[in-house]
Amino acid sequence: MLQRLVTEDLAQMAFMSAKPLTVGGVDCFVSRSGYTGEDGFEIAVPKGTGAEHQVVGLWNTMLSHEEVWPIGLGARDSLRLEAGLCLYGNDLDDTTSPVEGTLLWCIAKTRRADPAGFVGAERILSELKNKSASRKRAGFVVNAGAPAREGTEILGPDGTVVGVVTSGSFSPCLKKGIGMCYVKPEFNKVGTELEVPVRKKTQKITITKMPFVPQSYYRGP
Return the CATH number at 46. Answer: 3.30.1360.120
| Among 21-30, 53-62, 112-121, 133-142, the least confident range | 112-121
Q: Given this model, what pLDDT does residue 146 score? A: 94
Residues 11 and 91 reside in one and the same domain = no
The predicted pLDDT at position 41 comes to 93
Cα–chain center distance at 104: 15
pLDDT of residue 221 exceeding 70? no
- Within a domain: 24: yes
Both 44 and 89 in one domain: the answer is: no
Share of the chain above pLDDT 90, in %: 77
Whether residues 152 and 52 fall in one domain:
no
Answer yes or no: do 48 and 86 share one domain.
no
Q: Do 36 and 94 share a domain, yes or no? A: no
Structurally, how many domains does the chain consist of? 2
For the chain, the average pLDDT equals: 93
SS3 of the chain: the string is CHHHHCCCCHHHCCCCCEEEEEECCEEEEEECCCCCCCCCCEEECCCCCCHHHHHHHHHHHHHCCCCCCCCCHHHHHHHHHHCCCCCECCCECCCCCCCCCCCHHHCCHHHHCCCCCCCCHHHHHHHHHHCCCCCEEEEEEECCCCCCCCCCEEECCCCCEEEEEEEEEEECCCCEEEEEEEECHHHCCCCCEEEEEECCEEEEEEEECCCCCCCCCCCCC
pTM: 0.85
Residue 115 lies in a domain: no
Tell me, yes or no, whether 6 and 97 share the same domain: no
121 is a domain residue: no
Average pLDDT on 8-26 reads 93
Whether the per-residue pLDDT at 49 is higher than 90: the answer is no
pLDDT band at 127 (very low <50, low <70, confident <90, very high): very high
Q: What pLDDT, on a 0 to 100 scale, did the predictor assign at position 44?
A: 95
148 and 204 assigned to the same domain: yes
Residues 202 and 146 in one domain: yes
164-183 per-residue burial string, b: 16 or more CB within 10 A, e: under 16: bbbbbbbbeeeeebbbbbbb
Q: What is the pLDDT of residues 129-172, one digit of tens each?
A: 999 999 999 999 999 999 999 999 999 999 999 999 999 999 99
pLDDT, greater one: 43 or 111: 43
CATH number at residue 172: 2.40.30.110
Q: Answer yes or no: do 193 and 102 share one domain.
A: yes
Residues 89 and 182 placed together within one structural domain of the fold: yes
Quick count: other Cβ atoms within 10 Å of Cβ 70? 8
Q: Which is more confident, 71 or 151?
A: 151
Q: Do residues 99 and 148 share a domain?
A: yes
**Residue range of the domain that includes 91:** 81-108+134-208
Separation of alpha carbons 25 and 30, rounded Å? 14
Mean pLDDT, rounded, for 45-57: 90
Does some domain include residue 98?
A: yes
Residue 143 lies in a domain: yes
User: Phi/psi zone of residue 89: left (φ > 0), alpha (ψ -120 to 50 degrees), beta?
Assistant: left
The model's confidence at residue 214, banded by pLDDT at 50, 70 and 90, is confident
Q: Are residues 56 and 93 located together in one domain of the fold?
A: no
Q: Would 42 be classed as within a structural domain?
A: yes
